[in-house]
């Protein structure tokens, strides 16, 4: 409870408490910093990269100037995050953060390299990220239940789950599946969704977990197939794909996360405000919404204050799951 209590008490002006209580802004408009760099902690081609490049282009169309997307993959997204938190706090360097780095990693990693309370400030939530488990198109199973039955019939083989982020909701979900279904599915870490999905499509790993948006290109190319999606409702973009919960695997009901924008903690209030306004305005563009929805994402724009509150809520909900699975990452 220490981490959550400190955030609510506002003792430290970190991502939650600072974003939850912005002071009054100066009347004089603050210009957007130039040029801006939006850092992605994963390899090109995945969901995070897709979202970052879509927003960078829409910001440019909206007159926000140059937004450079910079990929810094590795350490399950932490290399990119740590680069941003150590950058100059002038609004020029931002991070497209997957929510597990704020809601799960503080609970699962001994030393993640950053403190979400003191190192970061919330700018805005952009999209919700439905996730899914997929397999190669030629594999003999068509759903998660089929996969579990198939894996149990092959005691000599070690079933594996490819993930781009260790300590993520997918990682926790598969550990819970192992415990609840007497399985030993081994998570295998990659530097991004793209290389992981290539191995899934070729059968190097039997299944993979990531954002639906990362999987759509290979799915449309008929290289992979979905075994089930996260959450409690089917996706409009994949109405034929059952949720994992429907198939008897509620361990993934809470595995829908979000992407948001964060900046270094000491970024000036007025700068945070103009960045927030720019991203929320970009989120209103019909072409951006159509592009991201078609890729399996769900538009969920929200102010930094709301992002901070959501972060606290999800952090609290994941705590008992982490304690139950006993996962500790080095």
pLDDT at 15 > cutoff 80: no
10 Å CB burial of residue 47 (0-12, 13-18, 19+) is: buried
- 217-254 burial, b for 16+ CB within 10 Å, e for fewer? ebbeeebbbbbbbbbeebbebbeebbbbbbbebbbbeb
Contact 98, 126 (CB under 8 A): no
pLDDT category at 12 given cuts 50, 70, 90 is very low
Class for the domain spanning 131-252: alpha beta
Q: What is the DSSP string of 230-253?
A: SSSS-BTTBTTSPBTTTTT-GGGT
10 Å CB burial of residue 146 (0-12, 13-18, 19+) is: middle
pLDDT category at 296 given cuts 50, 70, 90 is confident
Q: How far is CA 37 from CA 69, 95, 227, 303, in A?
A: 6, 8, 36, 20
Angle at 237 between CA 233 and CA 241, to 5 degrees: 55
Mean pLDDT value across residues 235-258: 92
Which CATH code fits 2-128+258-325? Answer: 3.40.190.150
Taking 3-state DSSP, the helix, strand and coil percentages for the chain, each rounded to the nearest 5, stand at 40, 20, 35
Query: What value does the mean pLDDT of the chain take?
Result: 88
pLDDT at 10 > cutoff 60: no
CA 15 to chain CA centroid, nearest Å: 16
pLDDT category at 52 given cuts 50, 70, 90 is very high
pLDDT in tens, 116-133: 989 999 999 999 999 999
Q: Any idea where the domains of the chain sit in the sequence?
A: 2-128+258-325, 131-252
Is 131-252 in the same CATH topology as 2-128+258-325? yes
Beta bridge mates, 186: 160
Distance CA 221, CA 200 (A): 14
The predicted structure's pLDDT at residue 191: 84
- For the beta sheet containing 224-229, the strands, ordered from the edge strand earlier in sequence to the opposite edge, are 186-189, 160-163, 207-211, 131-136, 224-229
The predicted structure's pLDDT at residue 19: 42
Candidates 198, 204, 202, 191; CA nearest to 163 is: 191
């Amino acid at each position: 409870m220490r981490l959550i209590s400190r955030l609510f008490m506002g003792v430290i002006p970190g991502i939650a408490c600072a974003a939850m209580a912005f002071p009054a802004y100066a009347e004089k408009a603050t210009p957007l910093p130039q040029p801006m760099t939006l850092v992605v902690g994963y390899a090109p081609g995945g969901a995070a990269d897709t979202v970052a490049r879509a927003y960078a282009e829409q910001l440019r169309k909206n007159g926000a100037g140059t937004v450079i997307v910079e990929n810094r993959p590795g350490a399950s997204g932490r290399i990119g995050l740590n680069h941003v938190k150590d950058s100059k706090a002038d609004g020029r360097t931002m991070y497209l953060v997957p929510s597990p780095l704020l809601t799960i990693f503080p609970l699962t990693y001994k030393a993640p390299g950053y403190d979400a309370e003191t190192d970061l400030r919330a700018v805005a939530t952009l999209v919700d990220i439905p996730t899914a488990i997929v397999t190669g198109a030629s594999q003999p199973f068509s759903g998660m239940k089929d996969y579990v039955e198939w894996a149990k019939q092959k005691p000599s083989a070690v079933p594996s789950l490819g993930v781009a982020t260790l300590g993520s909701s997918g990682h926790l979900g598969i550990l819970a599946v192992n415990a609840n279904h007497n399985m030993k599915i081994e998570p295998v870490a990659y530097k991004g969704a793209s290389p992981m999905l290539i191995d899934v499509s070729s059968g190097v790993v039997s299944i993979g977990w990531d954002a639906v948006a990362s999987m759509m290109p290979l799915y449309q190319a008929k290289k992979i197939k979905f075994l089930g999606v996260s959450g409690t409702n089917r996706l409009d973009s994949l109405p034929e794909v059952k949720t994992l919960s429907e198939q008897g695997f509620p361990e993934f009901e809470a595995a829908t996360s979000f992407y948001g924008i964060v900046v270094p903690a000491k970024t000036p209030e007025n700068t945070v405000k103009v960045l927030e306004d720019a991203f929320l305005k970009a989120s209103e563009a019909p072409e951006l919404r159509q592009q991201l929805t078609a890729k399996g994402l769900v538009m969920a724009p929200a102010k930094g204050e709301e992002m901070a509150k959501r972060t606290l809520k999800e952090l609290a909900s994941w705590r008992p799951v982490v304690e139950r699975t006993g996962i500790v990452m080095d």
